[in-house]
Amino acid sequence: MGLRALASAAVVVMTFGSAVVLVPSPVLADITCYDFVGPDEPQTVYDALPGDPYGLDTGWPPPIVSGNGDQEAGNGVPCDAEVDLPELDSPGDEDYEIGNDPADNGLDELPDGELEEATIREAQYTQAIQTEEKPDLTYRIIGVATPEFETYADYEDREVPGQCGADAATARLQELLAPGTTVWMEIDEAGFAGFKAPARHIWIELGGRYRLVAEVLVSEGHAVVATERPGTGRADARENPPPGTRYRDALRDAQERAIEERVGLWEQCAG
């Protein structure tokens, strides 16, 4: 999340900086400390996967302005540069059901509010989703991070591990969002809504229920929860904490169950 913007920033550094600094070429979707805001969510992943397959306690990536990153390798604290801001109360997603059987998760009907219906043209990964209606836009899914194929190899001679589960996650995403699939896209103020890469909650109809693609992926162990809170770098962020992703609690509940059941990457990547 946000890595596309970060990639642009890195290019600027490379182009205009006087000193040539080795800036990693960020991948477009993956699980790294840059995905998380606050220490709790990376800690949840780290505790469930103590082998640290996503390299959350490797001293990498370096902390950036908003506080993301890991400063010290191997100190048992993943993403230890995270700024710990107060959580806000429930975002009000209690209606979104999370139960023992993920097939029953979701809603009976689409939620109230402004939804944009669209037809999937292609879904490469969770941050590269295109529709038939607006093929020049690349949408990304809010609130989760997924393992990715590409790795940050050879950054300052450090092999960054990770990306376990990428094949399964990508296959499932592409199955859920096969070309021609009807989706409903919901804007969330907590998601960065860039012009070229707008962030959306993406709803699908699955087994007679309306479900968030993010929740399906989390429930099946193909994604980890990464609540978005734009504005955490603000000077007054502690006094006036920015909001979190609208379906934060539902996604966290789904992840808790996925970890307990050891589905998907929680089993595959636990070794």
Q: Catalog residues that contact Ca ion under the rule CB under 5 A.
A: 57, 70, 72, 75, 77, 80
**Shortest spacing between CB 153 and Ca ion, in angstroms:** 20
Phi-psi map region of 162: left, alpha, beta (phi>0 left; psi -120 to 50 alpha): left
**Shortest spacing between CB 194 and Ca ion, in angstroms:** 29
**Shortest spacing between CB 151 and Ca ion, in angstroms:** 19
Distance CA 39, CA 87 (A): 11
Minimum CB distance to Ca ion smaller for 2 or for 59: 59
Helix (DSSP H) and strand (DSSP E) numbers for the chain: 6, 8
Determine how many CB atoms are found less than 10 A away from the CB of residue 198: 19
Minimum CB distance to Ca ion smaller for 81 or for 123: 81
Minimum CB distance to Ca ion smaller for 75 or for 182: 75
How far, rounded to the nearest angstrom, does the alpha carbon of residue 14 sit from its chain's CA centroid?
Answer: 26
**Shortest spacing between CB 80 and Ca ion, in angstroms:** 4
Minimum CB distance to Ca ion smaller for 24 or for 106: 24
Distance CA 214, CA 199 (A): 12
**Shortest spacing between CB 71 and Ca ion, in angstroms:** 6
Report H helices in the chain: 3-16, 40-48, 166-176, 213-219, 248-261, 265-268
Minimum CB distance to Ca ion smaller for 72 or for 104: 72
Residue 264 amino acid letter = G
